[in-house]
Chain A
Amino acid sequence: MGASNFVEGVDLAFKIIIGISLFFLVGITTVMLWFVFRYSRKRHPVAEQMKDNNLLEITWITIPLILVLLMFYFGYVAFSPQRVVPKGALPITVIAKMWVWNFEYEGGKQSPVLVVPLKKAILLNLHSEDVIHSLYIPAFRIKEDVVPGKNNYMWFIPEQLGEYDILCTVYCGLRHSYMETKAKVVTEAEYQAWLSALPGKSNDPEGLVILRKNACTGCHSIDGTKIVSTSFRGLYGKTEKVMTNGSERSVTVDDVYIKSSVYEPDKDVVVGFQKGIMQTYKGKVSDDDLAKIIDYLKSIK
């Protein structure tokens, strides 16, 4: 038995298609090499001309046709249930944004790890906040793109306890290969306990919540480590060397500088970092939000 209800059907389709293919690959290659050996110019100096043979050609049109239709069929029957969600499936909203997965449970509780109860149908409603991502759980044999502006979905029944990799398979920018997390399959009791312990409305400062919501923390850490860009820790009040229109100058990180960095990130780029990586947050982060962010940054000076 596989890790999800789809594993068996998908793996059977793999076995059938690869099995038939291998048979033909080995068969045709063997025949080809035998001809090269048997009818080499040394052993067979004079070629014999042959007439076309319609019967033979019709045979090798018909047999592959039947075989590929068979392959189509097995691919289809194993796939079609993936689009029919059973009634009563547990809905979880997947929120994908540049380079973080978040899973929202009933009551707006969010978790960076997908925790699901064993043997229960799970419905994932896929939601992207920026570009296309794709949610892939290899062990479950499922994948569906997370397309902004489109309500895609996928579902599965976890059949085995354990931890499984979740990966993003549609290229989504700088840290695409780090956009991974885990799917944890637990018992129903463990699931209930985990869910009730999951904090609802966050106790985090408002500014941090806004930073997380806009995935700022995907590149700027809050603990002082360097991910892609400078860390937020100790940033406020610091003096930075920046490039402005190709010339270097020093600025103090204050309200004005933070505002211009959020709205026009390419204007003053800190020396040692590349232009063009960060997008503008004009229209995405309001002045109000910005004030809360600045308050938060002051608090982690």
Chain B
Amino acid sequence: MTEEKTHHPEPSYLVNTGKYKGLMSWLTSTDHKRIGIMYMYAMMVFFIVGVLLGEIMRLELFRPGQQFYGPQTYNGLFTIHGIIMIFTVVIPGLAAVFGNFSMPIMIGAKDVAFPRLNLFSFYLYILGAGIALTSQFLGNGPPDTGWTFYAPYSIQTHTNVVAAVFGAFVLGFSSILTGLNFIVTMHRMRAPGMTFFKMPLFPWSLYATAWIQVLATPIVGITLLMVVAERWFRIGFFDPSLGGDPVLYQHLFWIYSHPAVYIMILPAMGVITEIIPTFAQRKVFGYKAIAVSSLAIALVGYFVWAHHMYTSGMSPTARWIFSLLTFLVAVPSAIKVFNWVTTMYRGSIDLKPPFLFALGFIFLFMIGGMTGLTLGALATNVHVHDTAYVVAHFHYIVFGGVGFAFFAAIHYWYPKMFGRMYNFKRANWAFGFLFIGFNLLYFPQFIIGIQGMPRRYFDYLPQFTLGMQLSFFGGILLLIGIILMLTNLFSKKGAKAPDNPWGGRTYEWTIPSPPPLENFEVMPVMGPDETPYDYK
């Protein structure tokens, strides 16, 4: 958070102009750019903690049998790893960081519609994350339910489930308010002349995401409160020994948590859709198809939740209906991949780090998506459900997908955010370690999953040892990649960044780097013949 004097007449948003200095000037700022940056730093801390927890799990799994700590510790570890990574990193993820930083500029606005509400969302985020983390230190020990909090185990266990659940509940409100803010911003604050179908595609993806945040999150909120009520007051919602139905919990949980996967991945797709045209200097192919497919994914994504429950004892009819709907949601994702690749055709491709990360994203996301097909089909799902195969699939989507898109986005907007460049060569090396490490870590999990290795196992049968050890070494390479990337970005000051280092066409590249406090000196207007991707 350095303070810079720039040659531009308006001071940059990094320069303090309010009554506070230093950290307080950030914590009291309602500027969307500063809030985005604050989310980024907070998330980076949570991400590193989550990664280290994952590595500690991999260490224990290096050999069958107990190595360094017992099963209770392991069960607590995968629970808090999941809670941190899901609720504080990938769900707010790209929307909270780059949605806040870039989206208002991309649509030609000075800020979001409700700047103070935006800051409040950030505080709720910190509060929720803080509450979730107290679960580790207070009460009867860290929760051991997994991030899914499945009943009746979550009702019966004596560990500190309520703190974790309540933290997730508060984080949900942060997500809802951000979604609401973004919907209103995109409806009311687009530049004159920028119709919905002239809006850039990253905002489009955030628009679809925001509706899921607003409509789906309340369901998990009330469900988590029901768990608290059941634990405290013995009201029988989910525990059959109190007269409840444990499968009801799964329905309610997944009605939110499946759409939540689209909350994570849609903004990631949106970022990739910005990066590819910029570095190929090509108008994005199939603009409308990409915009509409975001909405289609958001809409159909609501009706596929029970594909997490094929083995729960649902009726055979429910099983095949959810399977069919699941396959339909695959199509809009496929459309996006075809559009991305076609946008490269006859372009003039500049293979800079953001584009490299975008290519990595496409490859990993395809593997994640395609292994999702085996999970969507009934017969194959029954075999691999709740095995390491699901762990691999899920990480290919949220880390290979969302994570790599996040890295691509940082490398893309970093010059705009801080007015500085970074070392390309080191960024490429970091990509190499991340990409190879990632695949070595998660690909073996597909294999041992198909061979029958269940998930959430502290100990395992000897035939899975090789796969587990490959994963361990992959984890080490991945960690090296993360360290390389972060030190490259944040340890040294790079050369001064030009306003438009990549030749982008969206509005953020027309203003100074870093942007002035109110973004635009002259508010942009979109002419009748202009589109967001007018490459010549």
A residues touching B (Cβ–Cβ < 8 Å)?
A: 6, 9-10, 13-14, 17-18, 21, 24-25, 28-29, 31-32, 35-36, 39-41, 44-50, 52, 56-57, 60-61, 64-65, 68-69, 71-72, 74-80, 82-83, 130-132, 134, 136, 138-139, 141-145, 147-150, 152, 165, 167-178, 180, 266, 274-279
**In the bound complex, how far is the Cα of B383 from the Cα of A134, in angstroms?**
12
B9: chain A residues within 8 A (beta carbon): none
CB A136 to nearest CB in B, in angstroms, measures 7
Q: Which residues of A contact B245 (CB under 8 A)?
A: 149
Residues of A within 8 A of B535 (CB): 47, 49
| A75 near B379: Cβ-Cβ < 8 Å | yes
A72→B379 contact, CB < 8 A: no
- Which B residues touch A172, using CB under 8 A? 153
Partner of B150, one of A28, A132, A174: A132
Is B21 close to A, CB under 8 A?
no
Closest-CB distance, A266 to chain B (whole angstroms): 7
Closest A residue to B74 using CB positions: A177
Of chain A, the residue at the smallest CB distance from B345 is A35
Whether A131 contacts B370 by the Cβ 8 Å rule is no
Contact among A72, A139, A150 with B324 in the assembled complex (CB-CB below 8 Å): A72
What distance in Å separates the Cβ of A32 from its nearest Cβ neighbour in chain B? 5
CB distance from A2 to the nearest CB of B (A): 11
Query: Known contacts A176-B457, A275-B141: does B71 contact A40 (CB below 8 Å)?
Result: no
- CB neighbours (8 Å) of A144 from chain B are 311, 313, 382
**Cβ of B350 and Cβ of A41 under 8 Å apart?**
yes
Whether A52 pairs with B281 at a CB distance below 8 angstroms is no
Residue of A nearest to B139 (CB): A276
| A9 surroundings in chain B (CB, below 8 A) | 379
> Contact: A169 with B387, CB < 8 Å?
yes
Contacts of A173 in B (CB 8 A): 75, 144, 153, 157
8 closest cross-chain pairs (CB), A and B: A75-B377, A138-B452, A149-B240, A276-B140, A276-B158, A78-B379, A79-B378, A21-B370
A32-B362, A174-B72 given; 4 more Cβ-contact pairs under 8 Å: A14-B383, A47-B280, A171-B150, A276-B158
Q: Which of A29, A35, A169, A180 has the most CB of B within 10 A?
A: A169
Q: What separation, in Å, do the CA atoms of A111 and B122 have in the docked complex?
A: 56
Q: Which residues of B contact A69 (CB under 8 A)?
A: 327
Cα distance, A133 to B137, chains bound together (Å)? 29
B71 to chain A, nearest CB (A): 5
Which of B128-159 touch A at CB < 8 Å?
Answer: 140-141, 144-146, 150, 152-153, 156-159
Smallest beta-carbon distance B347→chain A, Å:
5
Report if A79-B379 is in contact (Cβ < 8 Å); known contacts: A39-B349, A148-B240: yes
Q: Please name all residues of chain B whose beta carbon is closer than 8 Å to the beta carbon of A143 when the two chains form the complex.
A: 311, 382-383, 385-386
Closest to B346 in A: A48
Shortest C-beta distance, B392 to chain A (Å), equals 13
Alpha-carbon gap, A149 to B456, bound state (A): 24
B321 to chain A, nearest CB (A): 11
What is the bound-complex CA distance between A169 and B385, given in angstroms?
A: 8
**Which residue in chain B gives the minimum CB-CB distance to A36?**
B349
Residues of A with C-beta under 8 A to B247: 147, 150
Contacts of A49 in B (CB 8 A): 282-283, 535-536
